[in-house]
Amino acid sequence: MSSADARVLVVVPVCNERDSVAGTIGELKMNVPFADVLVVDDGSRDGTGEVARQLGIRVARLPFNLGIGGAVQTGFKYAVRGGYDVVVQVDGDGQHDASYLRGLVDFLLSEKADIVVGSRFLVDDPLRMSFFRNLGIRYFSWLTSHVVGQRVTDCSSGFRAVSRRAAAFYAENYPVDFPDAEALILAHRAGLKIAELPAKFRQRANGASSLRFWRFLYYPVKETLSIAMLLTRRSRAV
């Protein structure tokens, strides 16, 4: 099966991304016209969802902010009910280069993996970021690699393609708060295959990251403890 033959859903979780979401949608329409797009509006207060609706995009409006984990899981639940073959997660802030999306989908459909992560560290000119953000990503990628027994270079990437069975798993089992590393570990423990491909990231053009200064201090401790607790629980196979 090729990307042109598969039913593909692109899930775009957003929260107050009014200035960026139209550009993201336009880029998706240009690069993956065969895919359906679902914007999950995670309690935005700036009219982000209305911008998407005016562009003819389906919008799942959450009544209050659930956080990135809840927003993405909403997309997986929608995909399972809709019978999609592939679910792709793309951030609404314009950082993900949608020209790489078809490659993720084609690799997934070749049945080489259940989850394909677009890694900013596998391209020749990776995105420059602050020292502390880079350190955090490197640390959790190292920790994830150690747990899953394979090299993971960008565990924090929200640019991912997921198979039908992985989507069904995530629809019922998806971590909250900062879910990226935990989601990969959960998938591995459930018997799902993970792969990475190069993907170019860009600087955020508008808005602000959800990782504010205090969260940079809180996140490493909280996430390390969450992963440690996850490893004490019995894994659930797909």
pLDDT in tens, 99-115: 999 999 999 999 889 99
Judge whether residue 209 has pLDDT over 80: no
CB atoms inside a 10 Å sphere around CB 112: 11
pLDDT, mean of residues 119-142:
86
- Per-residue pLDDT at 215: 57
**Residue 136 phi/psi, 5° resolution?**
-65, -45
Which alpha helices (DSSP H) does 93-173 contain, by range? 101-109, 131-148, 164-172
Look at the domain 8-232 and name its fold.
Spore Coat Polysaccharide Biosynthesis Protein SpsA; Chain A (3.90.550)
**pTM for the predicted model, two decimal places:** 0.89
Predicted local confidence at residue 2, as pLDDT: 67
In the predicted model, is pLDDT for residue 196 greater than 70? yes
Kindly give, in sequence order, each residue whose CB lies less than 8 Å from that of residue 141, ignoring residues fewer than 6 positions away. Answer: 152, 153, 154, 155, 156, 181
Tokens of 43: 């309690």
Beta bridge pairs of residue 9: 36, 87
In this predicted structure, the answer to whether residue 12 has a pLDDT above a threshold of 60 is yes
SS3 of residue 156 by DSSP: coil
Please give the pLDDT value at position 224: 81
Mean pLDDT over the full length of the chain: 89
| Domains of the chain by residue range | 8-232
